[in-house]
Amino acid sequence: MTRAPLSVLDLVPIVSGQSGADALRNSVDLARHAERLGYARYWVAEHHLNPGVAGTSPAVVLALLGAATATIRIGSGAVLLGHRTALSTVEEFGLLDAAYPGRIDLGLGRSGGRPPGSDQGEVPPVPLVDGRTAEGLLVPPKAPIAHLLDSPRFRVQRELLQLPGAEPADYGEQVDDILALIAGTYRSVDGVHAQALPGEGADLQLWVLGSSGGESAHVAGKRGLRFATNYHVNPSGVVEATLAYRAAFEPSDDLTRPYVAVSADVVVAEDEPTARELATGYGLWVRSIRTAEGAIPFPTPEQARAWHWSDEDRALVQDRIDTRFVGTPAQVADQLEILQRAVGADELVVTTITHDHADRARSYELLAQEWASRS
């Protein structure tokens, strides 16, 4: 299998003791660093009401990153269509394309406020032996996170992100409207031609992001779009998601065969003990997300070690702890190769959070060097 190019997913994390402004400056610096290191793409995610995440508006962050870089592709991983319209999305990213032509990826997420794995659909079976695929990739059981849908924080998020009385549009219809607005073929139900300028004719690369084998994977496949799935958010569903996407795939003018990117959480250091020390805060950070408190500022190792873990806490985050790739460059690259083979990935997207920005930048540097040496 051809070695997949590496890309970056940045949540624009706020670490304890720092501010959102610090997080933005760190992201600009990291994007420049990733460009120098040869990463293919730099994506930013959309999150809301999280004290530890500054990435609330992908388009705004991408405008900053585009001005700070010259060649690396930049994009959304993803914008959440559950609380926006097709027109606003195309216009925003049309502006970005006008400013940074030929460099913009538009990654589309199905909704805001639904936990991973809530997609519904016919999912192909995944044969596992002792919880692993034939390639050796760990596929843990689904995490106990169904409570997130009914949490007060998610209800508040929906209330604040949507106008009173508004309901999210059908996801497949939104994707079709986005495609039509970009192509200049949009017609209303009354036959009115609507033009999104800038946006119409924009040189955007479209992706659909999904966590399971449900609606997102099918929408991406049926429309012949690129598909990105996230081992780092929902490791239990990543293989099913790619199987469902490929089963649904129909060639399009843009894509003649399925194209898959898959993400992973990684921390790399010169030696394994150092890498594990840098990754110490991850479990507590994930716990804050999965208890619906909202992502806390990423803690120091000392702050994380001070937390008193209950059995319930550990069960809530164990799948994410077990599926991180933490270690030396060679150890992490070996795990990424397994992930690539297990899902047949065309690209790998790595996301790294450490408390110290220099450690985070160094992790990406060590991984890029190791990956290039294997080409």
DSSP-assigned letter for residue 4: P
pLDDT in tens, 117-168: 444 455 557 889 999 999 999 999 988 877 777 788 878 988 899 888 888 8
Please tell us whether the domain made up of 6-276+324-373 is placed in CATH 3.30.565.10: no
Burial of 205 from C-beta contacts in 10 A (0-12 / 13-18 / 19+)? middle
> In this structure, what token pair is assigned to residue 348?
């790998």
Q: What is the pLDDT of residue 123?
A: 57
CA 245 to chain centre: 17
Q: What is the pLDDT of residue 122?
A: 56
Q: Token pair 């399009």 is at which residue?
A: 252
**Domain ranges, ordered by start, for the chain:** 6-276+324-373
List the beta bridge partners of residue 267: 326
Cα–Cα distances in angstroms (integers) from residue 304 to residues 256, 278, 279, 294, 354, in the given order? 47, 11, 10, 16, 12
Phi, psi torsion values for 129, nearest 5 degrees: -125, 115
SS3 218: helix
State the angle between helix axes of 357-373 and 329-343 in degrees (0 to 180), rounded to the nearest 10: 70
Regions of the chain where pLDDT drops below 70: 1, 112-124
> In this structure, what token pair is assigned to residue 122?
């016919």
Pairing of strands 79-80, 41-44: unpaired
User: Distance (Å, rounded) from C-alpha 369 to C-alpha 375?
Assistant: 10
Q: Token pair 């990213």 is at which residue?
A: 93
